Structure 1
Amino acid sequence: MARCKIKSGYNPRKTATIEPYDKVLIVCEGGTEVNYFKGLIGDLKLSTVNIEILDIKQNTPDSLLREAKQLYQKAKRSGNPYDRVYCVFDKDGHSKYQKTKGDIEQIKKPKDVYHCAFSEPCFEFWLLLHYKKTDKPFTNFDEIRKDKDFKKHFPNYDKSKNNFNDLKDRISTAC
């Protein structure tokens, strides 16, 4: 006679569990930032399913934050809220820059969702740092664009062009 197997419901093998990735929204005030982040995500082979990068064409930090909040609420209503929202903007002479930075830091609900990723004076300064450390007191993009080092490394600079492939091997220099 064959033996009966008794099922106890106990399984000694552990089953693998995969933690879901955070859903991230990155809102930018310009195409330069969008191109850079998309290049970085591709280079790092990150899943683009959970990272959304948008150029929302808002030209002030406060309007960028307002749009980010609306996008967060829309995603929340659809049942798939963002875990983190990054507002990427330049100081670049914006009068509401400091206030918006403070507003982002003061957002209590949802806790630790909104983050400020600002460039001072502008994102192009970060691009320049990929080639040369500098402490020149730039105050805006026009000053950087006229800089001899910037012209040397970006002779035909176009904000809409994706420069990431030229920069990716120099990230450690910029940091």
Structure 2
Amino acid sequence: MPFENRDFNTPDYTEELEEPKKVVIISCEGSNTEPEYFDAVKRKLSDNLKNLVEVDIVPKPPGDSEPTAVLNNLKEHVKNKYDFNEGSDILWLVIDRESVEARKRNIKKIIPECNRDGYSIALSNPLFEFWLLLHVTDITAYDSDVLIQNKWVNASKNRRYIDKELSTILPNGFNKRKGKFNQDIVSFENVKRALAQEKLFTTSYPEILDSLGSNIGELIGDFLDLSE
């Protein structure tokens, strides 16, 4: 059987094309704690980042932290930096429910646009600090009503209950000022604990608007692989 003619300078294999990188873009309500938390997760758990995933934390300008402002900041960032690839890139807003009813109305206002344009909402009720508390303690030891009320704990009204608990539990305390995020909160074990404990509460959106809970674990799952 004769050999087929073949150019021996030509490889006899087909090179696999690398899949396009997926970008998880996160727009936070806060300027300090939330962006610094996600930055710490990126750095400290870099070995657990999913393949071909990049995480981009949108810079938060000072001022308005209403849900519409968080959404507009995300849209402006994507417009200026990306050719948004719908179905590949993932866009998230990180928002606090807080206790006032006006806040609930403002969150509900952005839902139609988010649903239409493919933006996901990571919501914590009452605050993002509830998600942090899930990292560092047995949450079943707490009264759910006390957590969701999250009342002021001093006369000057500069610290709420969950903030106080974080400061008490963490050896180096808890500080919400810029550049002061306690990096000890973020570890492989602590994030896994938070993901497990989050499931004890409401994790479905928009039900979180009226219940103690969080769905930040869904956002974490978009870029971290914590399987052992």
TM-score (norm 1): 0.74
Does 14-23 or 88-97 show the bigger shift?
88-97
Q: What RMSD, in angstroms, separates the aligned Cα atoms of the two structures?
A: 3.3
Percentage of pairs with the same residue: 25
Larger Rg: 1
> What residue number does 1:51 align with?
55
Contiguous gaps of at least 5 residues in structure 1: none
* 8 Å contact from structure 1 (residues 62, 96) kept in 2: no
CA-to-partner distance for each residue in 1:51-92, whole Å, 9 max, x for gaps? 21134143211211122122222335xxx3262221111112
Which residue, 61, 71, 78 being the options, matches 1:65?
A: 71
1:22-171 map, 5 Å: 22-30=22-30, 31-45=32-46, 46=49, 50-56=54-60, 57=62, 58-76=64-82, 80-81=83-84, 83-93=89-99, 95-101=102-108, 103-104=110-111, 106-107=113-114, 109-110=116-117, 112=118, 114-130=119-135, 131-133=137-139, 134=142, 135=144, 136-140=146-150, 142-146=160-164, 149-154=165-170, 156-159=173-176, 160=178, 161-168=180-187, 169-171=189-191
* 8 Å contact from structure 2 (residues 29, 95) kept in 1: yes
Deviation at 1:139, TM superposition (A): 3.0
Amino acid of the structure 2 residue aligned with 1:121: P
The verdict on how the C-alpha distance between 1:97 and 1:18 changes in structure 2, with shifts beyond 3 A counting, is: farther
Deviation at 1:93, TM superposition (A): 3.2
Deviation at 1:36, TM superposition (A): 1.0
Deviation at 1:162, TM superposition (A): 2.7
Deviation at 1:23, TM superposition (A): 2.0
Contiguous gaps of at least 5 residues in structure 2: 151-158, 196-228
* 8 Å contact from structure 2 (residues 21, 52) kept in 1: no
The verdict on how the C-alpha distance between 1:49 and 1:4 changes in structure 2, with shifts beyond 3 A counting, is: closer
CA-to-partner distance for each residue in 1:67-121, whole Å, 9 max, x for gaps? 2122222335xxx3262221111112352445435624544554x3x11011111
Q: Quick one: distance in 2 between partners of 1:36 and 1:119?
A: 14
The verdict on how the C-alpha distance between 1:163 and 1:71 changes in structure 2, with shifts beyond 3 A counting, is: same
